[in-house]
Amino acid sequence: MSDEIEIDLDDLTRRMDGAISALRNEFGTLRTGRATASMLDPVMVDAYGAMTPLNQVGTVNVPEPRMLTLTIWDKGLVRAVEKAIMESGLGVNPQTDGTLIRLPIPELNEERRRELARVAAKYAESARVAVRNVRRDGMDQVKKAKNANDISEDDQKLYSDEIQEMTDKFIAQIDEALSSKEQEIMQV
């Protein structure tokens, strides 16, 4: 038997944390009737022949709870930004005044709220799948170490239990984040 090989639980934790972070970023892009600058993060503008994130062609501000403003740095890109916003599926209509674009955030109707809740549930399921994939990788590492006689059966059981406990903890965090986001979406 060679020196004990440590299963890198810190790496597994870091990867599961990454799934939670990605979920929070995706939740930030969902429009809930309140203006947030992160709503515009997924919007890409055709600027200078390349698809560019909106926040790299102008400044995004939130002057009121139901209003976003964009100050576009290059006047030639104003039309491209308007087009990108309209095609983004955010459900907002840009109002242009020179290089300033106002985005009034309309109230959400009940149907749109339900639709957004379903989208949030899809994002949460993707995060759960990512966490389960990390768990599977960890369990595979444990099995390989056991088959190579690098760890004992007792250690295999301990590592497997610890990985499962870690997975359960992260799945619970995802469920909690989803519940909170659904409440925010359904709040009138």
Domain boundaries, given as residue ranges, for the chain: 9-27+109-186, 34-104
Query: Quick check: 1 pLDDT over 80?
Result: no
Tell me the angle at which helices 110-147 and 9-28 cross, rounded to the nearest 10 degrees: 170
Q: What is the C-alpha to C-alpha distance for residues 6 and 119, in angstroms, rounded to an integer?
A: 39
CATH of domain 9-27+109-186: 1.10.132.20
Q: Could you tell me which residue, 165 or 41, shows the higher pLDDT?
A: 165
Instruction: State residue 172's pLDDT score.
Output: 95
Instruction: State residue 14's pLDDT score.
Output: 94
Query: Quick check: 87 pLDDT over 50?
Result: yes
Same topology between domain 9-27+109-186 and domain 34-104? no
Q: 91 with 33: CB under 8 angstroms?
A: no
| Residues 90-136 pLDDT 10s | 777 888 888 899 988 877 788 878 888 888 899 999 999 999 999 99
Q: 166 with 131: CB under 8 angstroms?
A: no
pTM of the model: 0.67
Q: What is the C-alpha to C-alpha distance for residues 105 and 39, in angstroms, rounded to an integer?
A: 11
134 by Cβ neighbours in 10 Å (0-12 / 13-18 / 19+) ranks as buried
> May I ask the CATH class of domain 34-104?
alpha beta
